[in-house]
Structure 1
Amino acid sequence: MMNLDTAFLPNQETVFEKDFLSYGYSLSARQWGLLRVDGKDPLLYICEIPVNQVNLLDMEDRTFQYGIVVNDITRIPRGPYFIRQPVPVVFDLTRRKTLNQVTLSCIANGYPTPEFQWYKEDFESDQLVSKRIDPLLMPRHTVSGGLLIITNPEEIKDRGKYHCVASNQYGSIVSESVQLSFGFIGEFNLKRSSENGLEHWGKAIYCDPPQYFPDIQYYWVRDVFPNFVEEDSRTFVSFDGNLYFSSLENIDRGRYSCNVQSTVSSNGRNGPFFSVEVRQHPNYQQLKFPNNFPKSFPEAPRVGEDVRLECVAFGYPVPNYNWTRKGAPLPKGVVITNYNRILVLPKVKVEDMGEYVCRATNDKVSIEGSVTVSVQATPVFTIPLGDMHMDRGEDLLWTCEAFGIPDVNYLWLRNGQVLDPLSLEQGDRERFEIRENVLIIRKLDPDRDQAMYQCKASNQIAERYSSGQLRILDIKPSFAKKPLESDIYAADGGNVTIACNPEAAPRPKYVWRKDGFAIGSGGRRIILPSGHLLINPVSMEDVGNFTCTAENRFGSDSSTGRVIVLRGPVFVEQPPNRILTTVGQTEQLRCRASAEGILDLAYIWKHNGITLRFDSSPVDFHDNLEAAHYIRSREGSLEINNITLGQAGEYECVAKTSVGRISTKTHLFVYGPPGAVGGVQVLELTSSSAVLRWTDGATNGDPIRLYMVEGRTNWNQTWSVLAMNITAKDVDRLTSRKEAQLINTVSPYSTYEFRISAANTLGYGPSSIPSPQYNTRPDRIFQPPTNVGGGGGKTGDLTITWTPFVGQQQNASGTYYKVFWRRLAGVDADVTEESEYQSQIVKHSRSAGLFVATVDRNRRYYYTPYKVKVQGCNDVGCGQESPEVSIYSAEDVPQVAPNQVAARAFNSTSLNVTWLPMDLSRKQMRGNMIGFRIKYWRRQDKEDASVFYLSRSTRNEALIVGLMPDTYYWVRVMAYNGAGEGPQSERFLERTFKKAPLKPPTTVQVVAVNPSTVRVTWRYVAPSIEEEPLIGYKVRVWESDQDMSTANDTLVPLGRKLEAYVTGLSWGKRYNLRVLAYSQGGDGKMSSPTWVFRMGDDSDVNSSVQMNVAILVLLASVILSICQTFTYNLGLYT
């Protein structure tokens, strides 16, 4: 079809739900064409049928309820129909002792409930005869419902095909025939000779299984059972039962056994063990396929079965495998496994047929083999028979159709007996005609033709039945089930069809009346062949009562409905023809209509012909339109938010009811920033300037005024602004070609891409696509090196550092640096100043940004000030020198040790170390002093096991923590700077204090004294011999919402009463309180649990504090054993 759009019928809505097409006729356009449908409405398609069968269309809607009034649908009279066909059964002879019976089953339904009979099919005189199974004459057989139970099955007597017949008063139907067979496995031969093979040659070892039925699985064992043979790239167990070695190796020597198991039971057989010997051979085997490989299992597969294609090749080196299909790709869903040797076609289909090619490849050669998959198909009914409910005297054309490979043959049955017109009575032979899958019965007679009919489709694979019941009806017309609608609504100017669907047989004649007056067929009112009344067009004259009367030879019946004519919707408010707006604004398109009160009025909005959907989540409609831009009001208006250029175009408001629809249109023009420019190119390019030319894009309603130029280089892929808010000159007004010059905006020795954005009064638009790449000319370096500094290093060196130039700053190839330095006069008289700069060229890329000059070989100019500067150069020339910077040469280690080092115990785990202040001069420290290193170790340890503490301070004291209680420690001190540490001091010995109190105070009680004071009491703590003597106690109080580090301690010296008054507390605040003992060894353990209390006011305390505190003390003693934290409100009690 050259132009698909012309095939569609005109004036169709474009909605996304209608994803199907039907071929139909348009009354308005008076033409045939494609119609968009949702796939749910019936009869929206073309049906081709012979003229003499048109009457069958009305019969298709008839069911078993037609002409019958039955409340219980399960009791609707009908003939039998199968729910489940019988299936083949294999009786396992090895399980006779546990289950010595076999059951065949068929299930059918109908009303009255069908009765069942079973038949066994035997051949007599080369003819297939069905013998009825009579349980009275066959005591081993039992028929119960649809079950046939055979006790103590006998293989010779009972094997064969069986079928059942289901019957009730309306006829009989025959089931499919199924096979009853007997499964068994014989015994292996007990002896088997050895197998011999050649190294690096292929070998097939045959299983030689016993006799079996129906099928078995193979398992190979090596040396001992159950050491099963593991498959790998060389070893393969095929479905044919054989064990294949692609290339024998010495490790394959051993004793092997083939074992089999039945597919219908758990029983199996173990074959005899035999030896496999591998002999050496001077050559290796070339690739070849053994035993007709590739193979297909099964060889003649049926549709729906899993097909397994196997491929194995002999030869060395061991090959790889690959599967293809000639003339077509491999089917979807194929599974390739077992080192690509097996290709499985799951549930094979007819379209999977073809020639499958296996390619085996190794390092030496490649070979191909193919196997053809030819699929057979059991008959499947594409057009089943179905039930027919016909009129007396009508002609019936009954069709069934089935697909199968090979082709199917058809046979017709009536009530379970073969229907042969030649065997019928003389009067029926002319009425019955069979044309393969078509049965024709003329002049139907209920007394002779009502029965159960079956169409049998069979081929060499199987046979299938499709059944149907033929009912021949005599029914007086009745509207009891389908009367005319009481109220029929029609649109003024539209069309309406009034359905008249009585139950009647034979087909009745129809008479229509309006308000009691007969209506003829013609003009605006046409009586259709189906009996329906078509009114086209509808007018207000059609308001009234319409009566349909149906009559046949058994009587007549009538039904009446009232036609109500409704007018279509009318617009009350419409949007203007043109709306102008700008990007980012909000516009409201007003649309409101009025309609009949009983009708629902719906609004549809379209943008450029595409229906807008107002879902709860954003949905893309076309290109970049999103539902988030649109909001529809209940009155029908459309609000467009955050307008973009994509929202411009034609908008249509459609107001529709069930009887009509109207529409109105408006155009929305959106002004915005310019579109992207195009064709960006460079006309001239120097080391720092460029001339660009481009073509303007869309102006989007406002002239372009300014431009922005961005660029990126090979050094940095990030776009950067080169020129902002520039103007351009016209080169060609006809093509909107523009040109602009950029001065001192680009970097030399760079590869540039440019992009340009245009702007108008509404802002900048999107950037253009990048231009082609252009190279700028090289130039000398423009700027001096930055971050010049230095210092440090080893003694005698002057380290100079700077930030190297990145690619875009180098401006040419061959970048290097000139480093300058000169010594300044120091504080010491022996350091003299240099008048001239020394210099050095640095070209090594590894040392870029760093240069080390040796300025002092005699350790004289340690930590001496220098002036330094750096200059950048390239192949074109040198740039500016950097500003001078003062740095120091490398330091030397300190030359003096701290004097009069002493240590005093601070607590049980700390020592406070002191020494005399040191001279920090250059001669003594040889640099900038950083601090001191303190070396300490236990007296009983060697000095090599010492630990260092670093004090980064010039103070002459330091605290060493983390020591062991009551232990002697040696300490030394040494000064250090950036060059290292100086000489060590004399050592000093000191002991830490004994342990801090290990036990906490107990029986802590808190009593309110006034709104700002509490009284705290506790019990005495007795120190042990391992602890320092007590000095006193601390009462530690802090606000509950603060950290304990903010706590205030109230000290109680030893010897005083064990109580303390904590003052200065604030009313209404919550506090935490704990008590601890302390000594020279430090603070001891705190009391537990924590006391939490809140202070009250004076009146609360004066009125009730004494009584309630006493109660709280008693309560605390009870709760103490079960709680970790108390909370008391001191002063506020009720």
Structure 2
Amino acid sequence: MKRQYLFYLIALILCSHSAQGIYFTTTSAPYIVYRTGSRIELNCSVDAFPNRNGSYIMWTKGGARVLNGSRIYVNTNNTLIISNALLPDTGSYQCSALAGGQTISTTTQLTVNDVPGKPRYVVLFNKMKESVNVYWTFTHGQDHNSPILAYRIEYRSNHNQTIRVQNVTHPMANNATVKLSPWGQYVFRVAGINTVGVGERSLWTAAYITEPAVPYNAPKGLRVEGSGRYPNRLFVSWMALPGEEQNAPGIGYMLYYKLDSDRFYTNLNVSNVNSYFINNLLRERYYDIYIQPYNNLGIGLRTTTIVRGFTSEAPPRSPPVNFRTTEIEANSIAVRWDGIPQNFIEGTLRGYTLRIWDVRAPGRSTNYTVGPNTLTYVFYGLMPYTVYEIEAFGRSRSSGRSYSARIVVRTRSSKPDPVMQLAAGAISTGNVVAANWVRPARANGIIIGYSLNITYTLTGRAYQYYGSYLLPGNVHHFSLSRVPRGTYVFTVSAENAAGFGPSRRAQAYASGDDYAPYNYLAKAVSNSRIEISWLVVKNPIRFEVRLREARNDSVWYKYGANIPGTARQITLDGIDGTKNYYVRMVSILNTGRNPLESSPTPQALAAMSSFEENLPPFNRAWFVILFVMGVILALILVYMIYRQFRSGPVQEPPKETHRAPRPPPQQQPLGQKELLLMMIVFFVLLQFNRVNQLIWAPLLIDDVCERRLIDIFGY
């Protein structure tokens, strides 16, 4: 890696016999440090006036001129280059610039360092049963131009080949004590640490074998289990001591047990194993058990905990059978199971344990226990629309783990919480009111929509109903435009699969114009007549009615332009009954004021809507039957007409003159009378229950047909 430090030294030397001088510039680093293997560049240059000649640069190290070689050389730019730096390259480098009899020089102190070398001697002394003292020495120069900061002792044993480390942080230390285990064969090595890194390791020392001793540690993981198949014995298991904790050859274990009511223990020598069956015990009794290691030098420490076991008991070898849910509500789940087969119960079944947790937080579970004869359980206080995992397993007096059955279930939706941050206010010029809200904090399901009810009061009157709206679940804003002056109350509630939740209210005051029409209704009373009613706070000079065809999005035209300002109702005649219309009321004020327009009717109004209102109650089943019959009849008619044209005219068979077998009668094609009769029957059925109105009305009124089809087919 190329590293370069540049420090600029500018010297101005004036000649004693001339006003003109020569500028010498040498660039180098006063003190630089590199690691072995680096590439080093030392720069030096001189600048002279044009009338001065004979300037040159020379590099020296310790007073001796630096000669060009394969690794150290001076290039054409007078830069000293040292490639693949070595420790001997450390020294004082001088750059001398000579010109016009004047000389200037600068010195750079270069240090090349590396990790420490390996120690000269590593010996062991003060050899004890459980420790040894490691001693080492470093000769001069082994720090490799970087002071040693700490030392590292590495060692391993015949029981554990992993290299373990003990650090010595004092830089002047030359020995340290290492703790060992008895009856182990250890080897050691040492390395120094400086700012560059960990140095070379020394050679491994000769093996040091510590003296044996009795075990110092007790076995861990002692566990006792009963067995229903063998009611007179207990199974005991533990973790055997590792090699470094055995401390001597001949490792084994003494197993001690007694009845919980006895005073004295019975001991068993179980040799070098990690499990054992204690036989010939009393049935259905508690026993206290502990274990103690030993080797050829004696008995070690016993286990600190005495474990109690129960004979004739073992965990069931099967989970509850047919574990299932029977009822799922928003805040509760009922489960049921069929019990554990008797041949899988070793001992006496004490009951069942049920564990439930939210799958989003598996570490936070709740346990419930029931008796052996209980096969149902109901979990209460759950969160709606949340996925839970439920586990069930049998219990016995044994401390062992039983087999479990699991199910994953989601609770039902419940009504959502109220919407959040509902706010209403007037915007624009004061004749627009709007409401905004945020979805509930707990939806308890999937929000499918919002219900919005609006009431209002004008100039202190009682509140009146304005309108109701069902909005999609992704809509959180609603506004009304061209409203008269008054207070408007927005009531919003969220809806999910469980229904509508609690509502919230917010009100807004609109400073609209009292002349603006409101609460207007438009209704078609015949094929060519529309009846319109409205209210205003103050009477304008006159009203206008404007109509727009539903299929035309922009053109409004006047219809009834001279309606008195005191009128509250009008009937429009001569309407085209084959079209749908939007209706808008306009208040005409004094000269100089713009007309006040109301909002258009919320949906297209059909001039033939009275025809729909006179229809009888709709019978979906009857319509489907007639529709299927009509399709079948049409297919039969087409088939018979096809047969008739294919067979040609009917010819009478000749009279019989011989007494011969009669041929089978020929199929007669359908005649015109039969066809006419079938058509008459179909149309009579079609007229029944006045269903013809359903068939013919769409030819005149498009929206009637559309609503009927939605009722029938659901789209």
Q: TM-score range by the shorter chain?
A: 0.3 to 0.5
TM-score by length of 1: 0.26
Question: Greater relative contact order (Cα 8 A, min sep 6): structure 1 or 2?
Answer: 2
